[in-house]
């Protein structure tokens, strides 16, 4: 079983959801991003999602776009992101990575799978790669024992939910809303429906992301999902902070609030 699977089993035994926290590698700097993710783990994030920045992130809202731009302007490269993954994996928390397809295609799909596994990464979330186009990734992830997380959406047909879940390993990522990343005031009404539809077609754990940013929202999502995925709200802690120490303090505070949320699921 993958390290992600262990985290899900443990949380399930504790009657709670897994908290996944996302941060772009190299934001605000390579070392700064390692410090941020380490602080998140120390404050209660169970699984770290390391986003490899990309110049044209069509599934990301303004907060993660800005963070990605800062990282790229700072010169972060795919090899740096792998270094970040290795450093964060050393904390003991499972590390999953997320990026758009072109950076991986240019790195070389097989080489990326090899180096991600060697860095201690557990798998990859692919926001713009659907199983229909994923033959090369299916083979490379199989060869290197990496998890595959494809996205499903409220607009997915039942047939596509089934097909996509069949190609996933580790967990399935359910996008809570029709839209891009970014914290929102309201929790989604579409998400519990989507998760219920997924349960009909798969036994894999289901993570829900997009629009979750507070402890209360995390508790709501934890009521029906196996993992609560938070990105923009955490990134904003660093983006809005006057200095690094303030950013880390804000990250710790929000991580702890979210960790409390996933431990008090609203059912």
Partner 1 sequence: MSAVPAAGQVPDAAGHFGRFGGRFVPEALVAALDELDAAYRKAMGDEEFLAEFDALLRDYAGTPSMLYEARRLSAQVGARVLLKREDLNHTGAHKVRNVLGQALLTRRMGKRRVIAETGAGQHGVATATAAALFDLECVVYMGAVDTERQALNVARMRMLGATVIPVTAGSRTLKDAMNEAMRDWVANVEDTHYLIGTAAGPHPFPEMVRDFVRGIGVEARQQCLDLTGALPDAVAACVGGGSNALGVFHAFVPDAGVRLYGFEAGGEGVESGRHAASITGGSSGVLHGTRTYVLQNADGQTIESHSISAGLDYPGVGPEHAWLHDTGRATYLPVDDAEAMAAFELLCRTEGIIPAIESAHALAGARKIAPELAAELGREPVILVNLSGRGDKDVHTAGAYFGILDKE
The burial class, CB within 10 Å (0-12 / 13-18 / 19+), for 34 is: buried
Of 176 and 234, nearer to partner 1 (C-beta) is 176
Of 5 and 154, nearer to partner 1 (C-beta) is 154
Least distance between partner 1 and beta carbon 75 (Å): 10
The one segment of 62-70, 183-191, 234-242, 246-254 that binds partner 1 by CB under 8 A: 62-70
The one segment of 14-22, 148-156, 228-236, 241-249 that binds partner 1 by CB under 8 A: 148-156
Catalytic residue numbers, as ranges: 49, 60
* SS3 call for 167: helix
Of 77 and 252, nearer to partner 1 (C-beta) is 77
Of 44 and 112, nearer to partner 1 (C-beta) is 112
Using CB under 8 A as the binding rule, whether residue 138 contacts partner 1 is answered as no
Task: Check: CB of residue 165 under 8 Å from CB of residue 204.
Answer: yes
Least distance between partner 1 and beta carbon 100 (Å): 8
Say how many residues touch partner 1, by CB under 8 A.
Answer: 42
Element holding 106 (H helix, E strand): helix 101-107
Q: Distance from CA of residue 173 to its chain's centroid?
A: 8
* SS3 call for 208: strand
Least distance between partner 1 and beta carbon 248 (Å): 27
Neighbours of 213 (CB within 10 A): 22
Q: Distance from CA of residue 117 to its chain's centroid?
A: 17
Nearest to 203 by CA among 170, 175, 155: 170
Binding site for partner 1 (CB under 8 A): 54-59, 61-62, 65, 69, 72, 77-78, 100-107, 127-130, 132-133, 150-157, 160, 164, 175, 177-180
């Amino acid at each position: 079983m993958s390290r992600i699977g262990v985290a899900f089993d443990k949380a399930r035994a504790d009657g709670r959801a897994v908290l996944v926290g996302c941060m772009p590698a190299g934001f605000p700097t390579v070392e700064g991003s390692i410090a941020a993710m380490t602080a998140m783990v120390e404050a209660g994030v169970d699984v770290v999602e390391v986003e490899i920045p990309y110049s044209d992130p069509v599934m990301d809202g303004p907060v993660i776009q800005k963070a990605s731009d800062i990282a790229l302007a700072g010169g972060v490269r795919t090899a740096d992101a792998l270094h970040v993954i290795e450093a964060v994996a050393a904390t003991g928390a499972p590390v999953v990575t997320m990026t758009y397809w072109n950076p991986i295609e240019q790195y070389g799909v097989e080489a990326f799978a090899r180096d991600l596994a060697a860095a201690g990464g557990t798998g990859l979330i692919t926001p713009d790669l659907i199983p229909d186009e994923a033959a090369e990734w299916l083979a490379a992830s199989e060869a290197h024992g990496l998890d595959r997380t494809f996205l499903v959406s409220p607009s997915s047909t039942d047939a596509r939910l089934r097909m996509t879940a069949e190609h996933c390993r580790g967990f399935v990522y359910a996008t809570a809303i029709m839209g891009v990343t970014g914290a929102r005031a309201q929790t989604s009404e579409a998400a519990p429906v989507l998760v219920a539809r997924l349960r009909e077609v798969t036994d894999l754990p289901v993570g829900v992301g997009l629009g979750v940013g507070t402890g209360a929202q995390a508790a709501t999502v934890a009521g029906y999902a196996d993992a609560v995925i938070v990105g923009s709200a955490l990134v904003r802690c660093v983006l809005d902070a006057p200095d690094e120490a303030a950013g880390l303090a804000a990250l710790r505070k929000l991580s702890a609030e979210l960790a409390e949320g996933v431990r008090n699921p609203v059912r």
